[in-house]
A and B are shown apart, each in its own frame.
Chain A
Amino acid sequence: MAFKIVVCAKQVPDTNEIKIDPVKKTLMREGVPSILNHDDANALEEALLIKDKYPDTHITVISMGPPQAKDMLIECLAMGADEAVLASDRALGGSDTWATSNALAAVIDKLGGCDLIFAGRQAIDGDTAQVGPQIAEKMDIPQVTYVSELEISKDMKRITVKRALEDGYELIEIDTPCMLTAIKELNTPRYMSISGIFDACKKEIPVWGAADLGVDVDKEVGLDASPTKVFRSFTPAPKGKGEMLEGETECDLAKGLLVGLKSKHVI
């Protein structure tokens, strides 16, 4: 019986290439290349490492997004995933994290469930870090976020994870089925391979709409069903320029620093 892993992936704009519209102050997405979200690539890599070690592992990558997100899924297949499914439908558009997790949980249900759900910590466009945990809640399975190391038991029933926190880490044992979110420290994602590319392009990627998923378009998915709405997007005002201290010696500089900090009542 194959160990089934579902990896949740998102196609996001490459933030290195993003420009801000000087008038509207919104992201200019035109001509900006789309990429596989970085943390999701780490999630996929970890799933592939499990498959490298335990070949009887089946990896399905799922995503919700516009039809062009298929390209990102081809990339996941070319890295080594076994299959990919895209949830795409106008009725799903405008979903917030809660509605998105409803749709993705429905995809996983339709796939017949799995032993491990792997998601990236967060997407570089929305930065919410909510979809993975919400899927786990919805499916009523345990979860660990911010996974930076992972060891799976031979019987595939138990996973020991290192959970990175700001000031240290936790070692947690968790039973499968469960949901984990990956951070970039977990691994270095592999590249696609040439043979993977030629195989991936031949594979069919099913596209499932709201009707296929059996989700309620009024209450579960889409803009209207989303309990949160984006009120405004804006670029925070840049911080003022730092003050550069000048002085002949280190002692002068230290004095200058003390005077400055005291005058601003910092110390």
Chain B
Amino acid sequence: MNFSLTKEHEFVRKMVREFSVGEVEPIAAEIDKEHRFPTENIPKMARYGLFGVPFPKEYEGAGGDNLAYTITVEELSRVCATTGVICSAHTSLCAWPIFYFGNDEQKAKYLPDLASGRKLGGFGLTEPNAGSDAAGQQTRAVDMGDHWLVNGSKIFITNGGVAETFVVMAMTDKSKKTRGISAFIVEKGFEGFSIGKIEDKMGICGSSTAELVFQNMKVPKENILGKPGDGFKVAMSTLDGGRIGIGAQALGIAQGALDVTIEYMKARKQFGKRLVDMDPLRFNIAEIATEIEAARLLLYKAAYHKDRGEPYGQWAAMGKYYASEVAMRTTTKCVQLYGGYGYTRDYPVERMMRDAKITELYEGTTEVQKMVIAAAVIGK
């Protein structure tokens, strides 16, 4: 048993925190208010390796691991949940499945651009009638001999309007249900690919959440990821890892809210006393801090097992479920601790509260996480 971070991981936290405070925090409120994608920060994040943390250097990754990646998303999200999810969706949901399930040619073709951050990635699974019930895919891919012909659409796709590479699920054999789903690597430039509706959201407002529309989209034969029928497995494994990323985002939001709230409470005086000196309020902080640390331990445990090549899906689901609820509880309490000021856009906690809610919804709702956890604990 060892709960200490290695030197590498301590430095990753220091580095990403410095980067986040220097480059991300100054525009966090603005991109939220203007619903603007933080385009200017993408090359900066790429330069410092933030888009390829867990991938080997031979693919232009940073040569780090999943724990370093978890810390990266956590620290970005501590100041800006939008920036956290740009990194998380790109890394966990697009680059990772290509790295893990791709053949040598696919990895050589797609991974360097993704891991270096020259191109952003996204992941297309959700459809209007296939949310938590991912098996209800209606997007279809037909084998045309020399290519796949794909028709359908995907909704709520993170990085949808800005990514250039996507991992997309489509039904190749409806009779086989989940075993008839296949995964494809799709480029934005493919004939028949277009961006549909851009969502107007409650939180993570700077993130580009879009509909992907495929109208007779031609996908080269060699772009199938794994074998025909592997899609559901690819999607579920990808989401296992994605949950660590979203859990880390939730953790970061909660930590960020706690940090700014403590600073506020040190400065704010009522009844002749600083808020930070009032016992009932101190107890609130104690509760929040304890929950955040528990969430962190669960998530780091998931990342630790993933780094060791051990099963981690149960820990990832527990971590994501718990951290997202902690983020929601923490940010709600922090708005309360700020009082009326917390409800205004002059302070960051209202944004954090709006951002926190999404972590209970995407990459598997809390209910889906509980299904995964119960199946692991009780048995199927």
Contact = CB atoms under 8 A, between A and B. Distances in A.
Interface string A186-209: 000001111111111100000000
Contacts of B53: 194
Given A191-B22, A194-B72, A201 B11 contact: yes
Contacts of B57: 195
B307 interface: no
B40 interface: no
Contact of B48 (A75, A193, A199, A201): A193
B11 A195 contact: no
B152 interface: no
A106 interface: no
B68 A194 contact: yes
A74 B64 CA distance: 16
Contact of B8 (A75, A191, A193, A197): A197
Interface in A62-77: 74-75
Label chain A's interface by main secondary structure: helix
Contact of A74 (B11, B22, B63): B11
A34 to B, nearest CB: 12
A256 B8 CA distance: 62
B253 to A, nearest CB: 22
B380 interface: no
A191 B48 contact: yes
A92 to B, nearest CB: 24
A105 interface: no
B234 interface: no
B7 A194 contact: no
A143 to B, nearest CB: 31
B49 interface: yes
Contacts of B72: 194
Nearest to A75: B11
A51 to B, nearest CB: 15
B374 interface: no
Interface string B271-305: 00000000000000000000000000000000000
A49 B50 CA distance: 21
A179 interface: no
A199 B64 CA distance: 10
Contacts of A192: 11, 14-15, 18, 48
Contacts of B11: 74-75, 78, 192, 197, 200-201
Nearest to A192: B15
B99 interface: no
B95 interface: no
Contacts of A74: 7, 11
Contact of A194 (B15, B18, B22): B15
A194 B57 CA distance: 11
- Residue of A74, A195, A197, A200 contacting most chain B CB atoms (<10 Å): A197
A196 B63 CA distance: 9
Contacts of A198: 8, 62-64, 68
Contacts of B15: 78, 191-194, 197
Nearest to B51: A194
B99 to A, nearest CB: 16
B18 A193 contact: no
B47 interface: yes
Contact of A201 (B7, B14, B22, B52): B7
Contacts of B14: 75, 192
- Residue of A191, A193, A200 contacting most chain B CB atoms (<10 Å): A191
Nearest to A202: B8
Given A197-B8, A201-B11, A191 B63 contact: no
A196 B11 CA distance: 10
B64 A194 contact: yes
Nearest to B19: A191
Contacts of B12: 194, 197
Interface string B1-30: 000001110011011001100100000000
A164 B255 CA distance: 42
Nearest to A188: B22
B10 to A, nearest CB: 9
B57 to A, nearest CB: 7
A206 to B, nearest CB: 17
Nearest to B65: A198
A169 to B, nearest CB: 28
18 contacts: A75-B11, A78-B15, A191-B15, A191-B19, A191-B48, A192-B14, A192-B15, A194-B50, A194-B62, A194-B63, A195-B49, A195-B64, A197-B8, A197-B11, A197-B12, A198-B62, A199-B63, A201-B6
Given A191-B22, A198-B8, 5 more contacts: A75-B11, A192-B15, A193-B47, A195-B49, A195-B63
Interface of B: 6-8, 11-12, 14-15, 18-19, 22, 47-50, 52-53, 57, 61-64, 68, 72
4 smallest A-B Cβ distances: which pairs?
A194-B49, A194-B62, A195-B62, A192-B15
